[in-house]
Structure 1
Amino acid sequence: MRRLRALLLPLVLTLAAQAAPAATDPAEAARAAADQLEGASVALDEAQDARDRVSALTETVLAFEAGLEALRDSLRRATIRERQLARELKARETEIARLLGALLTIGKDTSPTLFLHPGGPTGTARSGMILADITPALDSGAARLRSDLQEVMILRQLQQGAAQTLQEGLTGVQDARTALSQAIANRTDLPKRFSEDPIKTALLIASTETLEGFASGLAEIDPQGDTNDGEVSDITDRKGELPLPVQANVLRRAGEADAAGIRRPGLVLATRPNALVTTPTAATIRYRGPLLDYGNVMILEPQPDLMFVLAGLDSVFGSTGDVLPEGSPVGLMGGHDPGIGAILSQSSEGTGQDRSETLYLEVREGKTPVDPETWFRTDKEG
């Protein structure tokens, strides 16, 4: 019995010290993400018959993107958690072996003679008291081991079963993007503030060598046939609270140098391929189309003397002079959705570095660029 006590007491103390708080359940997060994707699929079917198809399809695309983002995040968390458990179990190999050995020893023989002490009744009584103290900790250690092993099994099943859900989500979002592009092409109900002067615009493009020069020159052009149709309200009271126009991470802030040492007054946002870009507030399209080496550019005017410049889009929607409601789609980012294998590989690496596209966001008050974070909410610390 003394030998058994010497074997088990350090184990009991170790198990008692290892009570850890429960972590957020990535499997539950994955189930919630799958439900979100299923809801987006239902919304896609309903959007086909919606009166405002553009609005309905925009919400559907954003729902798919949010669901896929949540599923990718849950997969990353599942992978990280599985690796954490594997490391913990590896570190506890000796303790687990001793625990299993003790449980097997006790479990082999239920005869009362197992617990008799050679020192007589007093020794037996003391041994019984020791076992009474030790047994709950053994049970607790065994329960924790069972829980950890079960969690590992669930996490592996989650990762193995994610491929089909991801494939369905990727197919659904692509169908929704295609339907949205078609609905925008067929849209005829937008108010129009002015008509573009193609000659002035072409001359401006030809005479400028920078985005800043083009935006400054555009601010000086008086739109043809400027009317009050669809006039937007003052948004100054929303300064600092506008959402970013796309689901993204801030790659570089205003004034931060890039790899070449170039500093720009706007934000560089890292987005996923084919991400939908929307207007953060009601605005008039002042320019849309290719410009210099920025790819497609969209310049929005929410109110007089205020412009939001979005550069780097693959495709742009709408026409110059259109007045867009808040949340309207203005374009799509470029790139290609990664295949299932690539997504699962990124998840297994635990990096999440799959935001391969960049959108440049600049804000101009009159002719002067200002820090976009004075207008947009980016969860900047400090």
Structure 2
Amino acid sequence: MMLRSVLVMIAVVGVAFSGAALLSAQAPGPSLSEQRRSLISAREQSERARQRSDALKRQAEAASNDADRIASEAAALAARIQGAEADIKAARTRIDIVARLQERQRARLAEKQGPMVRLTAALQMMTRKPTALALVEPRSLDELIYMRSILSAVMPEIERRTASLRDEVRQGEQLRLQATRAIASLDESQRRLTERRRQLAALEANERIEAAQFSDDAGIEQDRALALGEEARDIVDLMDQIRESGAVREALAELDGPLLRPGQGRNPSLRKQTRGDDVANAYLLPVSGEIVTGLGEISNSGYRSRGLTLAVSSGAQIVAPAAGRVAYSGRYRGYGNIIIIEHEAGWTSLITNLATIRVAVGDRVVQGAPVGQSGSDDPTVTVELRRNGRPIDIAALIG
């Protein structure tokens, strides 16, 4: 009977280990692979934001006047904020990955521990039979001989699997340390994000104080933009009207002699916009996030997308994708808060579903300038780029 128990236990060990290997091989991998790709993407976004911030800081240091310096400093801070947001996303993704790996590792450990515990218990029971009893019971002596021969064959396998258990325990400790580092990285990224948002708010407050003298002119132009919004039939019509009014304004600006218009004199060094080819070659996504709908795709609401829709984190920093002039800023029919930025040579950008807006109509912005933040109820942002009224595939521009 004891011999039969040993054989049964050994069979259980073999079946359990083969089942654990099969479970590990069949474990769902796509989700973990997607998380790893998301982690790589977040780290790339963070690095690009850091490089952009460094370039803008150098630009601010080389600025010849306060307007250029403040604009570049604000854009640099906005890039740092986006970098911190990407770091937070990377840290959270890393925590999720480690948690998933820990769960799998615990499952493997449990699969390996169970049979070993049962086998050890069976061996302990066998050793309780006194050896002296084998001298008076020949059958017991036969069983003892069989037992020792079986143990001599089984022990190497037991030692190998015990070593495997020790390896699993060491892996668990390494995963625990990785989780601790990921949590510390998340805390540090959140601290940096809070500090940089505070710095940006202070810089914007100073800029608003300096620009207060232009508030009357800005109010007139804002009223004109709102009137266009009321007349427009839809968002496409609004963008067409703004494009036409922008063409008229540029034509008037080319006339000789003085020309008074809203915003005249404000940030004069920023009046020069990017050239048309610069817009196409250096277009920037206004917010860090995952693309959920591309140009021409059918969205969840059933209409064909004219731009990119990105899933973003709550309160994500939104920036100007290219230098230009703010032509519309405010709420618009079912799109939430929107911003329309005119670039040069017929290029126009539309950003929708902002929770807060930090620019006004008539403001001239550099590429990367902070223009608002996303919300928490619906953390998605849509951006459209048009050239002379025709939708342009942004994904092709940004690679």
Q: What interval of TM-score do these two structures reach, taking the shorter chain for normalisation? A: 0.5 to 0.7
Partner of 1:75: 95
Asked if 1:359 is matched to 2:381, the reply is: yes
CA distance in 2, matches of 1:172, 1:129: 61
Partner of 1:348: none
* Equivalent pair of 2:325/2:365 in contact (CA under 8 Å): yes
Deviations 1:182-218 (A, max 9, x none): 31343479xxxxx977265344223113111110011
Aligned length in residues: 327
CA distance in 2, matches of 1:266, 1:120: 79
Task: Give the TM-score normalised by structure 1.
Answer: 0.65
Over the aligned positions, Cα root-mean-square deviation in angstroms equals: 4.8
Return the match for 2:354 from 288, 313, 337: 313
Asked if 1:140 is matched to 2:170, the reply is: no
CA shift for structure 1 position 277: 0.8
Partner of 2:116: 99
Return the match for 1:206 from 230, 234, 241: 230
* Equivalent pair of 1:9/1:134 in contact (CA under 8 Å): no
Higher Cα radius of gyration: 2
Q: Could you say what secondary structure the match of 1:182 adopts?
A: helix
CA distance in 1, matches of 2:301, 2:153: 70
Q: Could you say what secondary structure the match of 1:223 adopts?
A: helix
Q: Could you say what secondary structure the match of 1:369 adopts?
A: strand
Gaps of 5+ in 1: 190-194, 337-355, 378-382
Structure 1 residues 314 and 142: CA distance shift in structure 2, 3 A? closer
Partner of 1:340: none
Return the match for 2:203 from 164, 183, 202: 183
CA distance in 2, matches of 1:268, 1:363: 12
Structure 1 residues 142 and 263: CA distance shift in structure 2, 3 A? closer
Aligned counterparts, 1:1-382, within 5 A: 4=6, 7-8=9-10, 11-12=13-14, 15=17, 53-88=73-108, 92=111, 96-103=113-120, 127=150, 130-131=153-154, 133-147=156-170, 150=173, 158=180, 162=183, 169-170=189-190, 172-187=192-207, 198=221, 200-221=224-245, 222-223=248-249, 226=253, 229-235=271-277, 238=280, 242-335=283-376, 356-377=378-399
CA shift for structure 1 position 173: 2.6
Partner of 1:350: none
Partner of 2:65: none
* Equivalent pair of 2:325/2:341 in contact (CA under 8 Å): yes
Q: Could you say what secondary structure the match of 1:265 adopts?
A: coil
Task: Give the TM-score normalised by structure 2.
Answer: 0.62
Gaps of 5+ in 2: 26-31, 62-68, 135-139, 212-216, 255-269
CA shift for structure 1 position 8: 2.8
Deviations 1:228-256 (A, max 9, x none): 942313437956x8442111223333344
* Equivalent pair of 2:75/2:366 in contact (CA under 8 Å): no
CA distance in 2, matches of 1:325, 1:237: 12
* Equivalent pair of 1:12/1:134 in contact (CA under 8 Å): no
* Equivalent pair of 1:209/1:292 in contact (CA under 8 Å): no
* Equivalent pair of 2:3/2:147 in contact (CA under 8 Å): no
**Farther-moved stretch of structure 1 (166-175 vs 64-73):** 166-175
- Whichever residue aligns with residue 336 of structure 2, its letter is G
More helix by share: 2
